[in-house]
Chains A and B, each alone.
Chain A
Amino acid sequence: MAPPPALPVHPPSGPHHDSKPPKKSQKEMTKAERKELQERQRAAKAEAKASSQPSSSTPAQKKSNKPAEIVPRPPPTPGRAPREATRGAAAVAHETAAGANERGLRIFSHFGLPKAVSAPKGDIHPVTLRLALQFSEFKIVGANARCIATLIAFKTVIQDYVTPQNTTLSRHLMTHLSPQISHLVAARPMSVTMGNAIRQLKLEISGSDIDLPEQDAKDLLCAKIDQYLSERVLAADGIIEENGQKKIKDGDVILTYARSSVVEKVLLAAHESGRRFSVIVVDSRPLLEGKRLLSVLSHAGIKCKYILLPSIGSIITEVSTVIVGAHSIHTNGAVYSRAGTALVAMMAKQHSIPFIVCCETYKFSEGVQLDSFTKNELAPPGDRIATFPLTKPRESLTLANSPHLEVLNPLYDLTPPTSITAVVTEVGIVPPNSISSIPVALGRLL
């Protein structure tokens, strides 16, 4: 073949062209060289963009963008780009291995990684500090638990609050509570239940009577908090137990996923009232909450089976009903729950098994959610959660972030309303789409 026509080599006009080989046309280059060129061009584009726009726009840009944003060093000259392009993934690994917390998560980068609880800004009440630690260390987990914990902590904060000189409780207390709420959100993103409860609390605070002496106003607020908890959480759970029991008959095989405080109560209540049934607990990593449910149920004397999520296909034919809990339920009837619930729902629907969601009305969220990518949360890496003793050292059983492996643990997923048979709430058993028609759920009637 004739030697390829070489394009004229320009005299070096800066650091750019030092190490560049003479330009060949695209056809003549090997695949590797073409890729190199592409990477170089991308890197050059990335630098130009990196300083002005930190958020990545297209997936193509993401790869080269990430090294530029994450590592705060001066943008590399394009002369070094060929070397970098060949290093490729290794470059990302090198830089990010040093700051392991700042991995470039391609898919879920928009909801960020769990970060350590930062130094509290402002005057945070010790109870709030402790609560934030309980959240970030995954000691208090679950929509109900977090809401209860938040409200009880706020009761203490309200009792310790002193209204300053020139303002009233109804106006100032909310500004006092705001930094506490931000601190809790910084520890872990707020759950829908917490959000609804805090909204109700704000309503109560702004509606509190100016003429009341301070202690009375505080006591009234604490009483309102107690009332909210007892009516919309605990009493609601009681009614759901009764309603849910109707769905459990003797000889049933109930399947449940992970651990929901409401479902646990339903199953225990049904067992108490004398029904004979058995339970299959489906569990998944990394939290392995099902193990705790298993210990509670077997302690109560219920016959249980325990499987992990991948093996659900082999056991689904034996199941008579599936009962799960929820983190929140949306206007379109979609249920936002622990990651894996959607899979269970899909299997159940495929085999025509009724899929029942137990959910209090205060978990209702007014938004419409169509997928679990726009809003989700990542669990922190590592296995600091399970405390059951194991025969093998823990490190060999968990996946850890290594230079060529990133572990993603989204905590929630969305079950579409078409897979759900019924939702058991304290106002009755309703189809999922009609949640939005319940006045109580919308906070109108109380």
Chain B
Amino acid sequence: MSTQICRVVELLLRSACCHTVRGQSCLSKAVWTPVGPSSLCASGVSVLQRRAYSLDSLSLGPGRPSLGPNSQQPRSERTSPSSALAHRNLSAVAVQGQCRPLCQYDFLDLGEVEENVRRAQACKKIRHFIVDPDLANLVAQHLGPDLQDAKTVIFECNPGPGVLTRTLLNAGAQRVVALEGDRSFLHDLQELEGRLDGQLEVVHCDYFKLDPIGLGNVKPPAMFTDKLFTDLGISESAWTDDIPVKVVGILPQRNERGMLLKMVYALFERLSVYRYGRIELNLFISEKEYLKLVTRPGEMMYYRAFGVLWQMACEIELLHKVPWESFVVSSKQGVPSSKGKLPNDHLCLVRLRPRADLFSAGLTPSNASTLLMMIKQCLAKRKVKLIDRLNLWSPDSGSKLLSEMGMSEDILTGHVFPEEYLRLFQLMDKSQEFTQSWLYEEILENTQREGWG
């Protein structure tokens, strides 16, 4: 019902103000405003429900309250970042040289939901998409107030129909790099790029296929980091500098863990994107994988090297939980079947911000590979005594190290905190005994990441 009403209004309005528009879809925007927040909400929901994914206020989950009461009111958001926005739109117009009257609501139009859904679903690879404008707003909010800071670069991974891209730009982002791996979305994104004044750069690149391991030709969407960064003119920065790039996107469901492992290895050895500084990730990952990521010592089942390394390297913050249904999927199987014991009803927007002090006390990118190996060896089994592991690497050194650490002799590897592992490694690395240990040899043999760095 409400959609129909909406359409009627839309038609009416179209005839009224057709000269102001960029396209048909802009009209719907014009409609939204006069009708006001409440009816907007209603119509939005009904559209979405028909597609079997809802975004009612409850399902927004725990992150929502932080948004404040007006989170569903695009209007009030739009009005707040005032001058910068107006300026951007002005210049965009100026560049294009189009003669067009200025309009108070001259924002990038997000496109019609149905059309975006259709385009997303037409994607040949299995991918999740942010199509819902409210969801996009929410993500933009979470990227923080420094969005409008000219220094912040945002890498948006696989924007697809570009709803989040536009939302970010509308929110005042000064430099968005859209890395799209699927050719079919490129054209529209590039068109958008052309209409703007440098706030958006579009690259045919899949962030999750950066620095491929295998041999063979590297063709887009696969790419080497240095090429990407050089092309974008981003230079290396010190680890302790401010965050140079924020990455936002949805981690592909295929091989989530493998991807996260690959990234954390790169982080410790400062390879791949991490050569360029503390790259912050804001990724949607499955709830299951998120829970594993943040498992604490003592939960023997899930406390693994994977989580320990990420916790050691980054401040991890859960920004938001969104039910799977809120995303559009380009496959029939939208919600993953959760076989395991962990709940998996949501995608979690997680911020992984590398710690500035990670490399300040003895850990260096070159000895980090030993740390990786040590953590992996320790946590292959969680219910073994740490002292046994240590003695295996350097006989009789275990009790000395443990007393230096102030740990009890019978502590299990699954009870040691990530910070403690880091400290333990720093002690080991200083001691002469351990540098002779085979542990140091081992890393070199097992580094199968030759395509890196």
Partners in one complex: no
